[in-house]
Amino acid sequence: MPLKTYGNTTVDVDAEGYLTDFSQWTRTVAEAIAAEEGFAALGPAHWKVIEFMQKEYKENGQVPSIRRLNKSGVASTKELYELFPGGPAKKAARIAGLKKPEGCV
């Protein structure tokens, strides 16, 4: 299992850079992953999405789909694409320290 160091925190990640142990996640790690993904900074709207995803994951073990985020009222699909350009579910999940959304087979 690869390791990755963000600042002074070392975390376990999978081949695509998703955390494999959520207990290692901190806000600082999230900000470092965001920087790696090309975000200048994470604003309150980003955090709202990230925290909702983490809450959903804790409650039912699944990374929520974009449709779920949209329906929950956290952010519309359009807003999600503006907040996390190029793949909101994947990028937000990675920053949130969750596994890659399954996208289903």
Partner 1 sequence: MRNLVILGAGTGGTVMASHLRKRLPRGEWAVTVVDRDNEHYYQPGFLFIPFGFLRKKDIVKPRSKFLPKETEFIQAEIDRIVPASNEVVLRDGRTVPYDYLIVATGAEIVPAETPGMLDGWGDTIFDFYTADGAEALAAKLKTFSGGTLVVHVNETPIKCPVAPLEFAFFCDACLRRHGKRDKVDIVYVTPLPGAFTKPVAAAALGALLEKKRIRMVADFNAERIDASARKIIGYDGREVPYDLLVTVPTNMGAEMIERSGMGDEFRFLPTDPRTLRSKKHENIFALGDATDVPASKAGSVVHFQSEILTENILRAIDGRPLEPAFDGHANCFIEMGRGKAILIDFNYETEPLPGRFPFRVFGPLPLLKPSRLNHWGKLAFRGIYWRLLLRGRRIPFVPSRMKMTGKKRPAAAPGA
Nearest distance, CB of residue 46 and partner 1, angstroms? 17
Q: Which residue has the tokens 């600082």?
A: 28
User: Does the protein bind partner 1 through residue 77 (CB under 8 A)?
Assistant: yes
Answer for the pair 68, 93: CB distance below 8 angstroms, yes or no. no
User: Could you count the other beta carbons within 10 Å of the beta carbon of residue 67?
Assistant: 10
| Residue 25 annotated among the catalytic residues of the structure | no
Q: Which of 15, 40, 104, 105 is catalytic?
A: 104
For residue 86, report the phi and psi dihedrals to the nearest 5 degrees.
85, 25
- Report yes or no: 52 and 98 within 8 Å, Cβ to Cβ: no
| Nearer Cβ to partner 1 (41/59) | 59
Q: Report d(CA 52, CA 17) in Å as an integer.
A: 21
What are the structure tokens assigned to 22, written together?
């959520």
String marking each residue 9-48 x if it binds partner 1 according to CB under 8 A: -----xx---------------------------------
Q: Confirm or reject binding of residue 86 to partner 1 (CB under 8 A).
A: yes
Binding site for partner 1 (CB under 8 A): 14-15, 60, 65-68, 70-71, 77-78, 80-81, 85-87, 102-105
So which residues are the catalytic ones? 104
